[in-house]
């Protein structure tokens, strides 16, 4: 696949802010946008970020319009979603891929945004970014630093030091290189059987989720396995799986036991507990970005720059 790399940005450049999924209260939006500006960026806010249509930030065509408008707008240097929630799937049929291909830009989000991230990479080869959103807590140094290193114009400095995270576990330590795909487990599963289905063949698959019961995580990993999405990938990176608070029954499996049943028997290089996703720190991962995982050095580094 031909890979499209957007141009990196510098402080002082303009970030387009959109809400492709859920809505939020006016005070929350204004406060978080102000905090984001204080990072050193100018911002341009989508027309419908403040809208509410049920649990959505505006009607489907309106949210899609905001996304398309930010790609077209020459004043906008990169696009960062305000929040996730639910609703990204509903706007995908309204996106014009030809226009996006002609105006490639950094596009960043996570959670429900997973679907858009992987779709733009799958269809266009555009490297997108699974990372913090405007509503995220950028006061967390690791979160902020990883975000900057991934999207700024010197993204060749991007590196994840596995040894810096005490909770990281490593299994089947064969060095691998490949393109990253994935994100939120439930959203990845929701794409199966649709035109927006994730492609994991010869890819490094990263997964995370929040507030799901163990049996739900079991069901979703089993679904991916039965859909042949696990056997065909090169390796795994597993992030935060924040447990459901009511899921503490004695007869449950632990998450570690589930991973031992579903992932490790595949014999693929696997990183567990890398901090990305719904908890902090939330490091930025390039969807479609080619990386090398060197287990001896304990590092994840780009095979080539993610942005020009």
Residue identified by tokens 């970005």 is 289
Strands (E), 118-198: 128-130, 160-161, 169-171, 176-184
Question: Number of helices and strands (H, E) in the chain?
Answer: 9, 14
Spatial contact of 13 and 47, defined as CB atoms under 8 Å apart: no
User: How crowded is residue 248: how many other Cβ atoms within 10 Å of its Cβ?
Assistant: 9
Helix H or strand E segment including 218 = helix 214-226
Residue 285, SS3 per DSSP: strand
Residue 19, SS3 per DSSP: coil
Closest CA to 237 of 298, 168, 189: 168
Burial 131-146 (b: 16+ CB within 10 A, else e): bbbbbbebebeebbeb
Strands (E), the chain: 14-18, 42-45, 78-81, 106-109, 128-130, 160-161, 169-171, 176-184, 204-212, 235-243, 270-272, 285-287, 290-294, 299-302
Cα radius of gyration rounded to whole Å, the chain: 18
Q: Which residues are catalytic?
A: 111, 208, 278
CA quadruple 15, 19, 21, 23: dihedral sign = positive
Rounded alpha-carbon distances, angstroms, from residue 100 to 16, 121, 257? 14, 11, 42
């Amino acid at each position: 696949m031909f890979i499209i790399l957007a141009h990196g940005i510098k402080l002082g450049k303009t970030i387009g802010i959109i809400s492709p999924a859920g809505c939020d209260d006016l005070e929350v939006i204004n406060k978080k946008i102000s905090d984001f500006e204080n990072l050193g960026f100018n911002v341009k806010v989508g027309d419908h970020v403040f809208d509410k249509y049920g649990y959505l930030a505006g009607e489907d065509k309106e949210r899609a319009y905001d996304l398309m408008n930010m790609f077209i707008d020459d004043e906008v240097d990169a696009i960062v979603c305000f929040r996730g929630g639910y609703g990204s799937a509903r706007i995908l049929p309204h996106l014009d891929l030809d226009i996006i291909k002609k105006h490639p830009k950094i596009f960043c989000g996570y959670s429900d945004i997973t679907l858009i991230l992987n779709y733009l990479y799958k269809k266009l080869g555009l490297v997108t970014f699974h990372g913090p959103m405007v509503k995220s807590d950028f006061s967390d140094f690791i979160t902020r630093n990883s975000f900057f290193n991934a999207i700024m114009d010197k993204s060749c400095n991007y590196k994840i030091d596995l040894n810096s995270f005490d909770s990281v576990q490593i299994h089947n330590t064969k060095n691998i290189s490949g393109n990253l795909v994935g994100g939120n487990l439930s959203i990845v599963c929701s794409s199966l059987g649709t035109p927006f289905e994730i492609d994991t063949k010869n890819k490094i698959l990263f997964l995370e989720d929040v507030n799901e019961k163990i049996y739900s995580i079991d069901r979703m990993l089993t679904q991916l396995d039965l859909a042949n999405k696990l056997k065909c990938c090169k390796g795994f990176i597993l992030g935060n799986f924040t447990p459901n608070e009511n899921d503490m029954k004695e007869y449950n499996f632990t998450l570690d036991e589930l991973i031992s049943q579903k992932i490790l028997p595949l014999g693929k290089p696997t990183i567990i507990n890398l901090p990305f996703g719904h908890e902090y720190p939330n490091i930025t991962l390039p969807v479609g970005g080619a990386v090398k995982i060197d287990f001896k050095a304990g590092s994840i580094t780009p095979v080539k720059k993610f942005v020009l």
